[in-house]
Structure 1
Amino acid sequence: MFTPMLRVAALLVLGHATASVLPAQTDYFNTDAGRPIRTEDAYAIERRAIELQVAPLRLERARGGTYQWGIEPEIAVGLLPRTQFEIGFPMIHAEGARGTRTTALAGVEMSALYNLNAETRIPALAIVGDVVLPAGPLGPDGAIPSLKAIATKTLPWARFHVNAQYTFKDNASTGGVNGEAPPANTELSRWVAGLAIDKTLPLRSMLFTAEIVTSEPLVAGLQRRLDVAGGTRMQFSPRVAFDAGSGYRLRGDEQGWFVTTGAAVAIGFPWAPRR
């Protein structure tokens, strides 16, 4: 069943590489968590903007040959200046022990990002409050709040981003098949630290990025993780952006490769005042 998923991912990457670029691109450089890498920049979407993340897919293969994939449709809204609110609905398919498989909702994630300042001599800074709420068979047993700090610094030849996140919960248990939590639930982290670099090609409205991320799983007894990843993001039109990436888990209980792909559609409030 995973062969069609791989084909879809390959077709999306190929389409991304060969698509033509349209004028008036505006959002390809505004990186979000998971699009295409986990490390994000310190900027919120524009005020009165709505961004629909309609196809964010992550496919993983561990060394043992097990596959898991997740898709998390999200809605981001710029209700206030320099402030972004998001709500996501992660759906996960995972293979557990003894060949058990499950596909289900893995909670509801809500977050708010506030950009503290624009870049001057100091980096742009932002804070993010996030909570994963219990919902669905693979959701957590209780609310899992976390706080993230973000810094972004632009140099003439590249941008750098630093993310640091801490989760205010000692442990977490989730649902699963026959009482066993599948590997996908180990992605919840007690803390995360990431460093990313990206390079933009303004004339092509394209961004290339790479990161290194270390994290400690929220589930007790699992090894600390170390991931490396890279990807690209491209603006197809003033409203549509596409991203694709891949990476490898160098250290941790579930070592192996992963690929990501996604698309976002930006719209405005229907009641926004005309200028």
Structure 2
Amino acid sequence: MAASRAAASLAALASLVARPAAAQTDYYNTDAGRPITVEDAYPVERRALELQLAPLRLERARGGTYHWGVEPEVAVGILPRTQLEVGLPFAFVERGAQRASGLAGVELSVLHNLNVETALPALAVAADVLVPAGGLGPERAYPSVKGIATRTLPWARFHLNGQYTFGTESDAGTDAGTAELSRWQAGVAVDRTLPLRSLLLTGEVVARRPLRADDAAVEWNSGAGARYQLSPRVAADAGAGYRLTGDDRGWYATVGAAVVVGMPWRTR
């Protein structure tokens, strides 16, 4: 009897320990801006709800221009391998004695994973639109499309992103809502996971052409970051980078966290 009770207690303890370990995977799936620009090809799980807790971004361009940004987001796994995401970018821009702050539009996006990685890389397609809203938002909507590929090797993962944004040069102003938009953008990233520490280290190189001028020179940016699983449902991230070329050369840094929960309802 004592032996059976001990065995039952040990099994119960093992199940309690195993559940958190199985849930500690959010640090593995990277999102755009958390902590780098390039993302992987995987959405949040179906019927999962991810709350990105006010990720903060600070940029300093050449000439002493500072740009603060806070963009809380909600991502929902609405269908198998498909997520819907809504973001509210708030910006604070400082140019010498001039300062401006406010909502810089509303971002709506959907991402669909096309296949599970086998002999072929995992592939995904995404569509995004920046909707006019707030004092620093754009004057019109800017839709974009993106292709994503992820390839996993025994020692690292590689990601390739390509994005194109629609809209004419005359439509793109200098407000915070369109400052980060690109006519096109392409980037490659590599990451390395340390599963026993629930830690991911990543780095990227990104080329982009600003939307404000189709004849502008291509800008090159580099960045690196880390994501760490604080608990079975909470992951934190931080990153930094440098704009190597272009008119706005300078450094930037990001920090944020995300909480993943299940939906409060069930679907058939």
Which TM-score band applies after superposition, normalised by the shorter structure? 0.7 to 0.9
Residue of structure 1 in register with 2:91 after alignment: 92
Tell me the percent identity.
Answer: 61
2:194 aligns with one of 177, 180, 201 = 201
Instruction: Give the C-alpha shift of residue 185 in structure 1.
Output: 3.7
CA offsets per residue over residues 108-129 of structure 1, 9 Å max, x none? 0000000000111110000000
Structure 2 portions without partners, runs of 5+: 1-19
| 1:238 is the counterpart of 2:232 | yes
Change (3 A) 1:117 1:88: same
Q: Structure 1 residue 66: deviation in Å?
A: 1.7
Q: Structure 1 residue 164: deviation in Å?
A: 0.1
Query: TM-score, structure 1 length as denominator?
Result: 0.86
Instruction: Determine the C-alpha separation between the residues in 2 that align with 1:27 and 1:145.
Output: 28
Change (3 A) 1:264 1:38: same
The aligned amino acid for 1:116 is L
Q: Identify if the C-alpha distance between structure 1 residues 58 and 222 changes in structure 2 by more than 3 Å, giving closer, same or farther.
A: farther
Moved over 6 A (4+): none
Distance 2:251 2:21 in 1: 35
TM-score by length of 2: 0.88
Cα displacement (A) at 1:218: 0.6
Structure 2 residue identity aligned to 1:104: G
After superposition, residues 147-158 of structure 1 pair within 5 angstroms as: 147-158=145-156
Indicate conservation of the 8 Å contact 1:131/1:146, yes or no: yes
Count of residues paired in the alignment: 246
Amino acid at match of 1:159: R
Question: 1:182 deviation in Å?
Answer: 5.0
Larger Rg, first or second structure (1 or 2): 2
Does residue 228 in structure 1 map to residue 222 in structure 2?
yes
In structure 2, do the counterparts of structure 1 residues 142 and 273 end up closer, same or farther at CA, with 3 Å as the change threshold? closer
CA–CA distance in structure 1, aligned partners of residues 134 and 172 of structure 2: 13
Retained in 1: the 8 A contact 2:136–2:176? no
User: Does the 8 Å contact 1:23/1:237 carry over to 2?
Assistant: no
Find out whether 1:210 has 2:208 as its counterpart.
no
For the residues of structure 1 that align with 2:21 and 2:119, how far apart are their CA atoms? 31
Residues 68 and 184 of structure 1 are in contact (CA less than 8 Å); yes or no, is this contact kept in structure 2? no
Gaps of 5+ in 1: 1-21, 175-180
Q: Alignment partner for residue 168 of structure 2, among 167, 170, 187?
A: 170
Distance across 2 between alignment mates of 1:272 and 1:238: 21
Q: Which residue of 2 aligns with 1:188?
A: 181
1:36 lines up with 2:35 in the alignment? yes
Once residues 195 and 144 of structure 2 are traced to their aligned partners in structure 1, the CA distance between those partners, rounded to angstroms, is 34
